[in-house]
A and B are shown apart, each in its own frame.
Chain A
Amino acid sequence: QLQLQESGPRLVKPSETLSLTCTVSGGSISSSLYYWDWIRQPPGKGLEWIGSIYYSGTTYYSPSLKSRITMSVDTSKNQFSLKLSSVTAADTAVYFCARHVLQLPDKYYMDVWGQGTTVTVSS
């Protein structure tokens, strides 16, 4: 059974870089059938899509965050990562990683999610 687990510092100082890793277990990240996504949820608010990465390294980022995001994939470790630079209090959120299924030609969805990790931006 596929599982995703987020990891990384829970407290980040303003202006610094938030770094998170999602470890995929029970399946391979190197599949042509999936993208791997990051989504976040500020306290008491809705879901915000951050970006997607393919095992080949192809990325798609949210335009609102694009200037501050870097996503990467390490197929040898079955992991993908998120870096968000120049963080402010507005970046405080629960960060989820998820598997994004590409069931061509027209069925796309996020079917497996990590439990989420709370990241607080504060000095």
Chain B
Amino acid sequence: DIQLTQSPSFLSASVGDRVTITCRASQDISSYLAWYQQKPGKAPNLLMYAASTLHSGVPSRFSGSGSGTEFTLTISSLQPEDFATYYCQQLHSHPFTFGPGTKVDIK
């Protein structure tokens, strides 16, 4: 199985901050990576796929980069509605594993 790690696991930030979350894969997954945002009690929402393609309707302050084994999700200017947990997921090969998540909290 392909393992994903995320760093940091917890991040405390203020509105307006630039935030970067890293996802690392245990083997080369090319660009088969998606990012999701999840708020408490809700289903995950797709933010990004193919590592850097912004899903329809997602604000442009979100961006993604990377390929191979290292990927980043960046929020250019954190907004109040962005406080949530973020997960990466590899869709290169079964099983389609998720990272452990990064919780973004209010500073």
Contact = CB atoms under 8 A, between A and B. Distances in A.
Interface string B20-37: 000000000011101010
Interface of A: 37, 46-49, 52, 60-64, 96, 98, 106-111, 113-116
Nearest to B1: A63
Interface of B: 1, 30-32, 34, 36, 38, 42-46, 49-50, 53, 55, 87, 89, 91, 94-101
- Interface residues of B: mostly helix, strand, loop or mixed? loop
B91 A109 contact: yes
Contact of A46 (B53, B96, B98): B98
23 contacts: A37-B96, A46-B99, A46-B100, A47-B38, A48-B98, A49-B89, A49-B95, A49-B97, A52-B94, A52-B96, A60-B94, A60-B95, A62-B94, A62-B95, A96-B44, A106-B32, A106-B50, A107-B53, A109-B49, A110-B36, A110-B44, A111-B46, A114-B43
